[in-house]
Amino acid sequence: MIIVILLLTTVFAFPKYKQNLFVTKPDSLKKLAYQLSMASDLQVDVDQDQVCTWLKEYTLTTAQDAYYAKLASSFLEECQVDYNIDLPIIDQDDFESIYYNSLLNGQCPKLEYFITAGGAAKPQLKKQDDSYKTAAQVYHLATICNDNKVHEAIQEAIFNFQELYDGVSGVLDRDNSAAVTASLLYSFFTFNITNLHPKLQEILQNQIYQQTIINFLFQRTTVLGSIDEQYWITKLFQLTQVNSIIYPIFQDYYLVNKGKALINIKFVNFKGEKVQPTEVKAFINNENYTYTPIKSKEFSGYFEVSQVGSLPFELHFPNYVFKYTIKVLHEIEIEEVMFDVVDSKTSKPNFHHSVENGEEYPAILNANEKSFLHVIIKTKKQVKSQVAIRLVHPKHPSATTQVFAEYDTKRKIYYGIIDFGDPDHVTPLNAIYQVELLLADSNVVPKRWSFLKIDTKFQAQTTFQNDNYYKLPQEIVHQFNQEQPEVPFLFVSFFVVIIVIAFVFFLRILSNLNLSFDKLPKDNSTIVYLFLALIIGLFVVLTLFWIKLNLIETVTVLGILSVPLVVVGNYALLALRKSEKLD
């Protein structure tokens, strides 16, 4: 179950942290300071002399270095480190420098200058790779300011920072940093809540905020994150507000006994310790259920429920509501299963074979294509559930078949028949089948009981080579036509120039002929008109070349058109010449 996993991953997260403390010299001063802080919180012994030697080897150049040196030295009793260095002038638009200077000197700037009403850092700040990281630093400073009043702008920003209250996943999606989220949660938990607006106090104490903590810790304690994340997670677990959160561990399902079910629950804290809540109520469909504490190693207490099925179960604690879906099921008690194999449809079964709940019949019965298996299932009471008889082939799962048993209201039994001669239900294969009884329903405990073996002897046996498992179709590999290479520019230009020269030459020849309609021959004018039509067709082809046809198509059409043009043109010119001589 999810909550059980949450418990285990939470408990076993810190050993992962401990194993990584000071294995080698940390590669940064921040990592050394954070590991010392974690070692103190987790009560891990540290070789202080060795760590002090490492600490003195770092060079301090910035306020960030000085702060981490101060933080580290606070955990080393006999290690004197000079972290008082000359710091550069602070740029008021560089909040990261302001943040570390404030942590170093204990001063608190006017935080409302650095954060928007929406919860993020203002866009004009320098070195702002992550505005929500800057916002988290602002919230952190708000918890340690010298004055006792949290700025109204900070309160407004917290109030409007809806991503946190809608779920940690919203924050993680925006800044992609669990360390930032842990820092936000730590700051919100350590605010002096009495200095906040009453409406903001209500937000920080409501159920969504508490559930967010549970979800976040469930996500992040399953992995060993960055050193920043480990540091803030460890600090979160030191807070009484976090460790005082009580959450339940449920069973997979609960059984109805004499019309009622006991919802046994174990309440634990984040350390995995069993606790007993003083105020807790349960609700299903607005119906109130009373909590009864019990002394047990496994459970803290129980609620007595009379409903059956998958139920939305709400646990109301003083500060939040925990929602969960529980399963309350009936367990069907089978008194007896009686069965018999007969040789024909009209034969009446004697039912002289029987087994009780959980038993398997010691003998193997025989059957062929003429046989019928009759099965009677007796239960203590009728329940609305599906009861089926399954015939399981030992080798080929696809040859397995099942039939549903119907309830006889008069005899108060379930009755099922398997016809071995029906090819639609039973595949004619010679084998020793396992006969199973199946019970399934949303409100009952599923049951699968193998109670009999049957040896089948079919005269006409089916050849069964391949099992009919569903197989994923082969991936379709699309073969796209390769892109045709473009015709070289020089090649196209060469032919274009030739066509233009030929066309100019053609126009020149026509102009030398001094053609006119007055010179058309009177007796043979058809050939001349045909020649003119071919010339117009030539112009059409050249025009299409510029707007539609490509070079190859144009040359092809011109080649075809040139043959009749030459022949007809020759006759047309001869006709014109004869006409001139006659004139």
Gap between the Cα atoms of 164 and 182, Å rounded = 11
Q: Over pLDDT 70: what percentage of the chain?
A: 71
- Write the DSSP symbol of residue 225: -
> Does the pLDDT of residue 161 top 60, yes or no?
no
Q: What is the structure's pLDDT at 98?
A: 81
Is it the case that residue 124 has pLDDT exceeding 60? Answer: no
DSSP conformational letter for 118 = T
pLDDT of residue 171: 45
Which CA distances in Å does 462 have to 9, 398, 459, 467?
54, 13, 10, 13
Please tell me the least confidently modeled range out of 143-147, 283-287, 349-353, 473-477. 473-477
Q: What's the rounded mean pLDDT across residues 392-405?
A: 84
Proportion of the chain in helix, strand, coil states, percent, rounded to 5: 40, 20, 40
Least confident window among 39-43, 133-137, 175-179, 285-289: 175-179
Over 50: is that where the pLDDT of 197 sits?
yes
Per-residue model confidence as pLDDT tens digits over 519-534: 666 566 777 778 778 8
**What is the pTM for the complete model shown?**
0.53
Could you list the beta-strand ranges (E) of 424-518: 432-440, 447-456
Q: In a 10 Å sphere around its CB, with 0-12 CB exposed, 13-18 middle and 19+ buried, how is residue 84 labelled?
A: exposed
Confidence of residue 169 (pLDDT cuts 50, 70, 90): very low
Whether pLDDT at 173 is above 50: no
Q: pLDDT band for position 59 (50/70/90)?
A: confident
If you average pLDDT over every residue of the chain, what do you get? Answer: 77
Chain segment 418-450, per-residue pLDDT in tens: 999 888 778 888 899 999 998 887 788 888 889
